[in-house]
Amino acid sequence: MQTLSQSPTEPDFVQNPYPFYERARAAGPFFHWQDYGLICTPVAAAANAIFRDRRFGREVPPDLARPIAPHTAPFYAVEAHSMLELEPPRHTRLRSLVLRAFTSRRIAGLQPDVESLSHSLIDALPEGEFDLITGFAQALPVIIIARLLGVPEDMAGQLLRWSNAMVGMYQARRTHDMEVAASDAARDFSDFLRGYVEQRRKAPADDLITQLIAAESDGERLSTDELITTCILLLNAGHEATVHTIGNGVKTLLETGSVAQILSPDTVQDTVEEILRFDPALHMFTRTAYESVEVMGHTFARGDQVALLLGATNRDPALWDRPDHFLPGRTAKPNLTFGAGLHFCVGAPLARLELQIALPILFRRLPGLRLAEAPRYADVYHFHGLERLLLAR
Protein backbone atom coordinates (compact mmCIF):
# COMPACT_ATOMS: atom_id res chain seq x y z
CA MET A 1 0.00 0.00 0.00
CA GLN A 2 1.38 3.38 -0.98
CA THR A 3 1.65 6.29 1.44
CA LEU A 4 0.69 9.67 -0.01
CA SER A 5 1.08 13.08 1.58
CA GLN A 6 -1.36 15.93 0.97
CA SER A 7 -2.37 18.56 3.48
CA PRO A 8 -6.18 18.90 3.41
CA THR A 9 -5.80 22.60 4.25
CA GLU A 10 -3.25 23.39 1.50
CA PRO A 11 -4.77 26.11 -0.71
CA ASP A 12 -4.44 24.33 -4.07
CA PHE A 13 -6.05 21.19 -2.63
CA VAL A 14 -8.89 23.20 -1.07
CA GLN A 15 -9.64 24.77 -4.46
CA ASN A 16 -9.37 21.51 -6.41
CA PRO A 17 -8.93 18.19 -4.57
CA TYR A 18 -9.67 16.08 -7.66
CA PRO A 19 -6.09 15.81 -9.06
CA PHE A 20 -4.97 14.35 -5.72
CA TYR A 21 -7.83 11.86 -5.86
CA GLU A 22 -6.68 10.76 -9.32
CA ARG A 23 -3.14 10.29 -8.04
CA ALA A 24 -4.51 8.29 -5.12
CA ARG A 25 -6.65 6.08 -7.37
CA ALA A 26 -3.57 5.19 -9.42
CA ALA A 27 -2.06 3.78 -6.23
CA GLY A 28 -4.74 1.05 -6.06
CA PRO A 29 -7.99 0.51 -4.17
CA PHE A 30 -6.45 1.70 -0.89
CA PHE A 31 -3.69 4.09 0.12
CA HIS A 32 -2.35 5.52 3.37
CA TRP A 33 -3.06 9.27 3.69
CA GLN A 34 -0.09 10.34 5.79
CA ASP A 35 -1.54 13.69 6.91
CA TYR A 36 -4.59 11.95 8.41
CA GLY A 37 -2.86 8.73 9.45
CA LEU A 38 -5.72 6.88 7.77
CA ILE A 39 -6.21 4.13 5.23
CA CYS A 40 -8.41 5.61 2.50
CA THR A 41 -10.18 4.49 -0.64
CA PRO A 42 -10.94 6.63 -3.71
CA VAL A 43 -12.47 3.61 -5.49
CA ALA A 44 -16.26 3.37 -5.82
CA ALA A 45 -16.42 -0.43 -5.63
CA ALA A 46 -14.41 -0.54 -2.40
CA ALA A 47 -16.36 2.29 -0.76
CA ASN A 48 -19.70 0.78 -1.77
CA ALA A 49 -18.67 -2.61 -0.38
CA ILE A 50 -17.58 -1.09 2.96
CA PHE A 51 -20.75 1.02 3.26
CA ARG A 52 -22.81 -2.17 2.95
CA ASP A 53 -20.62 -4.53 5.00
CA ARG A 54 -21.93 -4.94 8.57
CA ARG A 55 -18.40 -5.82 9.68
CA PHE A 56 -17.70 -2.07 9.37
CA GLY A 57 -19.60 0.65 11.18
CA ARG A 58 -19.63 4.17 12.58
CA GLU A 59 -19.79 3.27 16.26
CA VAL A 60 -16.36 2.73 17.81
CA PRO A 61 -16.36 -0.26 20.24
CA PRO A 62 -16.02 0.97 23.85
CA ASP A 63 -12.69 -0.83 24.37
CA LEU A 64 -11.23 0.99 21.36
CA ALA A 65 -12.71 4.44 22.02
CA ARG A 66 -10.36 7.30 22.76
CA PRO A 67 -10.87 9.38 25.92
CA ILE A 68 -13.04 12.46 25.45
CA ALA A 69 -11.42 15.77 26.37
CA PRO A 70 -13.51 17.52 29.06
CA HIS A 71 -14.05 20.66 26.98
CA THR A 72 -15.66 18.55 24.20
CA ALA A 73 -17.98 16.58 26.51
CA PRO A 74 -21.17 18.57 25.67
CA PHE A 75 -20.62 17.93 21.94
CA TYR A 76 -20.11 14.19 22.37
CA ALA A 77 -23.06 13.99 24.79
CA VAL A 78 -25.22 14.97 21.81
CA GLU A 79 -23.37 12.65 19.41
CA ALA A 80 -23.95 9.72 21.78
CA HIS A 81 -27.61 9.62 20.69
CA SER A 82 -27.10 10.26 16.98
CA MET A 83 -28.23 7.50 14.64
CA LEU A 84 -25.43 8.66 12.32
CA GLU A 85 -22.92 7.45 14.92
CA LEU A 86 -24.71 4.28 16.10
CA GLU A 87 -25.04 0.70 14.90
CA PRO A 88 -27.79 -1.91 15.44
CA PRO A 89 -29.70 -2.51 17.58
CA ARG A 90 -29.85 1.17 18.69
CA HIS A 91 -29.54 2.45 15.14
CA THR A 92 -32.34 0.18 13.94
CA ARG A 93 -34.67 1.39 16.67
CA LEU A 94 -33.86 5.09 16.19
CA ARG A 95 -34.07 5.03 12.40
CA SER A 96 -37.36 3.15 12.47
CA LEU A 97 -38.88 5.71 14.82
CA VAL A 98 -37.54 8.68 12.84
CA LEU A 99 -38.84 7.31 9.54
CA ARG A 100 -42.32 7.04 11.05
CA ALA A 101 -42.24 10.83 11.40
CA PHE A 102 -39.95 11.80 8.51
CA THR A 103 -42.21 10.30 5.86
CA SER A 104 -42.16 10.76 2.09
CA ARG A 105 -45.62 12.30 2.36
CA ARG A 106 -44.40 14.92 4.83
CA ILE A 107 -41.39 15.69 2.63
CA ALA A 108 -43.53 15.99 -0.51
CA GLY A 109 -45.84 18.30 1.43
CA LEU A 110 -42.98 20.79 1.73
CA GLN A 111 -42.96 21.50 -2.01
CA PRO A 112 -45.16 24.64 -1.76
CA ASP A 113 -42.98 25.93 1.07
CA VAL A 114 -39.79 25.45 -0.95
CA GLU A 115 -41.39 27.21 -3.93
CA SER A 116 -42.72 30.22 -2.00
CA LEU A 117 -39.55 30.58 0.07
CA SER A 118 -37.37 30.45 -3.07
CA HIS A 119 -39.37 33.32 -4.57
CA SER A 120 -39.25 35.34 -1.32
CA LEU A 121 -35.49 34.97 -1.01
CA ILE A 122 -34.98 35.99 -4.64
CA ASP A 123 -37.25 39.02 -4.10
CA ALA A 124 -34.99 40.08 -1.23
CA LEU A 125 -31.74 39.85 -3.21
CA PRO A 126 -30.17 43.26 -3.91
CA GLU A 127 -29.88 44.69 -7.41
CA GLY A 128 -26.51 44.30 -9.07
CA GLU A 129 -24.05 41.94 -7.40
CA PHE A 130 -24.91 39.66 -4.48
CA ASP A 131 -23.58 36.63 -2.62
CA LEU A 132 -25.81 33.65 -3.38
CA ILE A 133 -24.48 31.70 -0.37
CA THR A 134 -25.65 34.13 2.31
CA GLY A 135 -28.64 35.46 0.38
CA PHE A 136 -30.13 32.19 -0.81
CA ALA A 137 -28.19 28.95 -0.27
CA GLN A 138 -27.90 29.25 3.52
CA ALA A 139 -31.36 30.64 4.17
CA LEU A 140 -33.42 28.18 2.14
CA PRO A 141 -32.57 24.85 3.83
CA VAL A 142 -32.33 26.24 7.37
CA ILE A 143 -35.76 27.91 7.15
CA ILE A 144 -37.30 24.76 5.67
CA ILE A 145 -35.85 22.69 8.50
CA ALA A 146 -37.14 25.23 11.04
CA ARG A 147 -40.63 24.95 9.54
CA LEU A 148 -40.36 21.17 9.47
CA LEU A 149 -39.35 20.99 13.12
CA GLY A 150 -41.88 23.61 14.14
CA VAL A 151 -39.47 26.14 15.63
CA PRO A 152 -39.86 29.88 14.86
CA GLU A 153 -38.40 31.03 11.57
CA ASP A 154 -36.87 34.03 13.29
CA MET A 155 -34.57 31.49 14.99
CA ALA A 156 -33.09 30.54 11.60
CA GLY A 157 -30.00 32.73 12.06
CA GLN A 158 -29.27 31.25 15.48
CA LEU A 159 -29.85 27.69 14.22
CA LEU A 160 -27.36 28.43 11.44
CA ARG A 161 -24.74 29.69 13.90
CA TRP A 162 -25.13 26.62 16.12
CA SER A 163 -24.92 24.33 13.12
CA ASN A 164 -21.82 26.01 11.70
CA ALA A 165 -20.08 25.80 15.06
CA MET A 166 -20.91 22.12 15.54
CA VAL A 167 -19.74 20.98 12.11
CA GLY A 168 -16.40 22.62 12.83
CA MET A 169 -15.61 19.41 14.73
CA TYR A 170 -15.33 17.55 11.42
CA GLN A 171 -13.00 19.98 9.66
CA ALA A 172 -9.32 19.36 9.02
CA ARG A 173 -8.43 22.81 10.40
CA ARG A 174 -10.15 22.07 13.73
CA THR A 175 -8.60 23.92 16.68
CA HIS A 176 -9.14 24.01 20.44
CA ASP A 177 -11.22 27.17 20.08
CA MET A 178 -13.39 25.48 17.44
CA GLU A 179 -13.89 22.52 19.79
CA VAL A 180 -15.02 24.84 22.58
CA ALA A 181 -17.36 26.67 20.21
CA ALA A 182 -18.84 23.36 19.00
CA SER A 183 -19.45 22.17 22.55
CA ASP A 184 -21.01 25.49 23.55
CA ALA A 185 -23.29 25.31 20.50
CA ALA A 186 -24.26 21.71 21.25
CA ARG A 187 -25.19 22.61 24.82
CA ASP A 188 -27.15 25.75 23.85
CA PHE A 189 -28.90 24.02 20.96
CA SER A 190 -29.89 21.14 23.25
CA ASP A 191 -31.21 23.50 25.92
CA PHE A 192 -33.28 25.37 23.34
CA LEU A 193 -34.79 22.19 21.90
CA ARG A 194 -35.44 20.70 25.33
CA GLY A 195 -37.77 23.60 26.06
CA TYR A 196 -39.54 23.12 22.74
CA VAL A 197 -39.98 19.40 23.30
CA GLU A 198 -41.62 20.08 26.65
CA GLN A 199 -43.95 22.60 25.01
CA ARG A 200 -44.94 20.08 22.34
CA ARG A 201 -45.59 17.36 24.92
CA LYS A 202 -48.16 19.68 26.50
CA ALA A 203 -49.47 21.23 23.27
CA PRO A 204 -48.98 18.99 20.20
CA ALA A 205 -48.83 20.68 16.79
CA ASP A 206 -48.50 19.67 13.15
CA ASP A 207 -44.70 19.57 13.10
CA LEU A 208 -41.87 17.07 13.14
CA ILE A 209 -41.11 17.48 16.85
CA THR A 210 -44.68 16.47 17.70
CA GLN A 211 -44.47 13.56 15.25
CA LEU A 212 -41.19 12.38 16.76
CA ILE A 213 -42.72 12.52 20.25
CA ALA A 214 -45.65 10.42 19.06
CA ALA A 215 -43.59 7.97 16.99
CA GLU A 216 -43.70 4.48 18.42
CA SER A 217 -42.35 1.13 17.28
CA ASP A 218 -42.88 -2.10 19.21
CA GLY A 219 -43.75 -0.11 22.30
CA GLU A 220 -40.56 1.97 22.07
CA ARG A 221 -40.44 5.75 21.90
CA LEU A 222 -37.61 8.21 21.51
CA SER A 223 -36.18 9.47 24.77
CA THR A 224 -35.93 13.24 25.15
CA ASP A 225 -32.16 13.13 24.59
CA GLU A 226 -32.61 10.99 21.47
CA LEU A 227 -35.30 13.33 20.18
CA ILE A 228 -33.11 16.40 20.73
CA THR A 229 -30.11 14.81 19.02
CA THR A 230 -32.28 13.71 16.09
CA CYS A 231 -33.53 17.27 15.57
CA ILE A 232 -29.95 18.58 15.72
CA LEU A 233 -28.81 15.91 13.26
CA LEU A 234 -31.61 16.76 10.81
CA LEU A 235 -30.65 20.42 10.92
CA ASN A 236 -26.86 20.03 10.78
CA ALA A 237 -26.68 17.26 8.19
CA GLY A 238 -29.59 18.46 6.07
CA HIS A 239 -28.64 22.10 6.10
CA GLU A 240 -24.85 21.94 5.74
CA ALA A 241 -24.85 19.62 2.74
CA THR A 242 -27.63 21.45 0.92
CA VAL A 243 -25.98 24.87 1.31
CA HIS A 244 -22.77 23.60 -0.29
CA THR A 245 -24.63 21.68 -2.99
CA ILE A 246 -26.65 24.73 -4.04
CA GLY A 247 -23.47 26.83 -4.23
CA ASN A 248 -21.39 24.19 -6.00
CA GLY A 249 -24.28 23.40 -8.33
CA VAL A 250 -24.96 26.99 -9.41
CA LYS A 251 -21.21 27.52 -9.96
CA THR A 252 -21.03 24.40 -12.12
CA LEU A 253 -24.15 25.22 -14.14
CA LEU A 254 -22.82 28.69 -14.95
CA GLU A 255 -19.27 27.56 -15.71
CA THR A 256 -20.39 24.72 -18.00
CA GLY A 257 -23.23 26.54 -19.74
CA SER A 258 -25.75 23.99 -18.48
CA VAL A 259 -28.52 26.29 -17.24
CA ALA A 260 -30.94 25.05 -19.95
CA GLN A 261 -30.74 21.53 -18.47
CA ILE A 262 -31.86 22.65 -14.99
CA LEU A 263 -34.73 24.67 -16.51
CA SER A 264 -36.23 21.82 -18.52
CA PRO A 265 -38.75 19.61 -16.64
CA ASP A 266 -37.47 16.68 -18.72
CA THR A 267 -33.86 17.02 -17.54
CA VAL A 268 -34.01 18.75 -14.14
CA GLN A 269 -33.87 15.50 -12.17
CA ASP A 270 -30.87 14.11 -14.08
CA THR A 271 -29.14 17.47 -13.82
CA VAL A 272 -29.53 17.52 -10.03
CA GLU A 273 -28.12 13.98 -9.85
CA GLU A 274 -25.14 15.09 -11.91
CA ILE A 275 -24.62 18.08 -9.58
CA LEU A 276 -24.63 15.70 -6.62
CA ARG A 277 -22.09 13.42 -8.35
CA PHE A 278 -19.79 15.98 -9.91
CA ASP A 279 -18.92 18.25 -6.96
CA PRO A 280 -20.45 16.86 -3.74
CA ALA A 281 -20.61 18.66 -0.41
CA LEU A 282 -19.10 15.86 1.71
CA HIS A 283 -15.79 14.34 0.60
CA MET A 284 -14.85 11.97 3.41
CA PHE A 285 -16.72 9.56 5.65
CA THR A 286 -15.05 7.05 7.99
CA ARG A 287 -15.85 3.52 9.08
CA THR A 288 -14.31 1.26 11.77
CA ALA A 289 -13.65 -2.46 11.24
CA TYR A 290 -15.32 -4.63 13.88
CA GLU A 291 -13.33 -7.75 13.03
CA SER A 292 -10.60 -8.88 10.68
CA VAL A 293 -11.98 -8.42 7.17
CA GLU A 294 -10.49 -8.40 3.67
CA VAL A 295 -11.65 -5.94 1.02
CA MET A 296 -10.16 -5.92 -2.47
CA GLY A 297 -6.89 -7.45 -1.33
CA HIS A 298 -6.39 -5.44 1.85
CA THR A 299 -6.98 -6.97 5.28
CA PHE A 300 -8.34 -4.66 7.96
CA ALA A 301 -7.75 -5.58 11.61
CA ARG A 302 -10.37 -4.99 14.28
CA GLY A 303 -10.34 -1.30 15.19
CA ASP A 304 -8.80 -0.11 11.93
CA GLN A 305 -10.41 3.00 10.51
CA VAL A 306 -10.94 3.51 6.80
CA ALA A 307 -11.89 6.77 5.08
CA LEU A 308 -14.24 6.59 2.11
CA LEU A 309 -13.40 9.50 -0.19
CA LEU A 310 -16.80 10.29 -1.68
CA GLY A 311 -15.53 13.14 -3.83
CA ALA A 312 -13.18 10.65 -5.46
CA THR A 313 -15.56 7.70 -5.73
CA ASN A 314 -18.06 9.89 -7.60
CA ARG A 315 -15.45 10.41 -10.31
CA ASP A 316 -14.27 6.82 -10.59
CA PRO A 317 -13.73 6.05 -14.33
CA ALA A 318 -14.65 2.42 -13.62
CA LEU A 319 -18.25 3.65 -13.23
CA TRP A 320 -18.51 6.85 -15.28
CA ASP A 321 -17.39 7.75 -18.77
CA ARG A 322 -15.48 11.06 -18.73
CA PRO A 323 -16.05 11.44 -14.97
CA ASP A 324 -14.35 14.87 -14.84
CA HIS A 325 -16.92 16.30 -17.26
CA PHE A 326 -20.27 17.67 -16.09
CA LEU A 327 -22.74 15.78 -18.29
CA PRO A 328 -26.37 16.20 -17.16
CA GLY A 329 -27.56 13.77 -19.86
CA ARG A 330 -25.36 10.87 -18.76
CA THR A 331 -26.99 7.54 -17.95
CA ALA A 332 -28.19 7.69 -14.36
CA LYS A 333 -26.25 5.51 -11.91
CA PRO A 334 -26.24 5.51 -8.12
CA ASN A 335 -23.52 7.69 -6.62
CA LEU A 336 -22.29 7.70 -3.03
CA THR A 337 -23.07 11.33 -2.18
CA PHE A 338 -25.74 10.27 0.34
CA GLY A 339 -23.90 7.13 1.42
CA ALA A 340 -25.24 3.62 1.01
CA GLY A 341 -26.50 0.70 3.06
CA LEU A 342 -27.61 0.97 6.67
CA HIS A 343 -26.72 4.66 7.06
CA PHE A 344 -28.09 5.96 3.74
CA CYS A 345 -29.05 9.58 4.44
CA VAL A 346 -32.66 9.93 5.66
CA GLY A 347 -32.63 13.53 4.44
CA ALA A 348 -31.77 12.66 0.83
CA PRO A 349 -35.39 13.06 -0.43
CA LEU A 350 -35.62 16.54 1.14
CA ALA A 351 -32.27 17.62 -0.32
CA ARG A 352 -33.30 16.45 -3.78
CA LEU A 353 -36.67 18.18 -3.46
CA GLU A 354 -35.03 21.49 -2.51
CA LEU A 355 -32.55 21.31 -5.38
CA GLN A 356 -35.09 20.26 -8.01
CA ILE A 357 -37.43 23.11 -7.06
CA ALA A 358 -35.13 25.95 -5.99
CA LEU A 359 -32.54 25.86 -8.78
CA PRO A 360 -35.02 26.14 -11.69
CA ILE A 361 -36.85 28.97 -9.90
CA LEU A 362 -33.57 30.81 -9.37
CA PHE A 363 -32.62 30.69 -13.06
CA ARG A 364 -36.14 31.44 -14.30
CA ARG A 365 -36.39 34.51 -12.08
CA LEU A 366 -32.85 35.68 -12.89
CA PRO A 367 -32.25 34.59 -16.50
CA GLY A 368 -29.18 36.81 -16.92
CA LEU A 369 -27.37 35.40 -13.90
CA ARG A 370 -23.59 35.32 -14.27
CA LEU A 371 -20.46 34.98 -12.16
CA ALA A 372 -19.20 38.35 -10.89
CA GLU A 373 -15.89 36.92 -9.70
CA ALA A 374 -14.04 33.61 -9.80
CA PRO A 375 -15.58 31.41 -7.06
CA ARG A 376 -13.29 30.17 -4.29
CA TYR A 377 -13.83 27.18 -2.03
CA ALA A 378 -13.66 27.57 1.74
CA ASP A 379 -11.09 25.80 3.91
CA VAL A 380 -13.65 23.42 5.42
CA TYR A 381 -12.46 19.96 4.32
CA HIS A 382 -13.75 17.27 4.63
CA PHE A 383 -16.72 19.35 3.50
CA HIS A 384 -16.38 21.04 0.12
CA GLY A 385 -18.18 24.33 -0.38
CA LEU A 386 -17.67 27.90 -1.49
CA GLU A 387 -16.58 30.84 0.69
CA ARG A 388 -19.05 32.92 -1.28
CA LEU A 389 -20.63 32.93 -4.73
CA LEU A 390 -20.72 36.49 -6.00
CA LEU A 391 -23.21 36.75 -8.86
CA ALA A 392 -24.56 39.56 -11.00
CA ARG A 393 -27.99 39.79 -12.61
DSSP string across 92-143: HHHHHHHHHHS-HHHHHTTHHHHHHHHHHHHHHSPSSEEEHIIIIITHHHHH
Rounded to two decimals, the pTM is 0.95
Q: Within 13 Å of residue 332, how many CA atoms lie on the same side as its CB?
A: 8
Strands 386-388 and 305-308, bridge-based pairing? unpaired
CA distance 159 to 153: 10
As beta bridge partners, residue 289 has: 56
34, 3 contact by CB (below 8 A): yes
Residue 218: per-residue pLDDT? 64
Nearest to 235 by CA among 202, 269, 280, 190: 190
CA distance 349 to 109: 12
Here the CATH number for the domain that contains residue 235 is 1.10.630.10
The number of distinct structural domains making up the chain is: 1
Range of the domain at 335: 3-392
Nearest to 84 by CA among 343, 390, 263: 343
Q: What is the pLDDT along the chain (393 residues), one digit of tens a residue?
A: 999 999 999 999 999 999 999 999 999 999 999 999 999 999 999 999 999 999 999 999 888 888 999 999 999 999 999 999 999 999 998 898 888 878 888 899 999 999 999 999 999 999 999 999 999 999 999 999 999 889 888 998 999 999 999 999 999 999 999 999 999 999 999 999 999 899 999 999 988 899 888 886 667 788 999 999 999 998 888 788 999 999 999 999 999 999 999 999 999 999 999 999 999 999 999 999 999 999 999 999 999 999 999 999 999 999 999 999 999 988 878 899 999 999 999 989 999 999 999 999 999 999 999 999 999 999 999 999 999 999 999
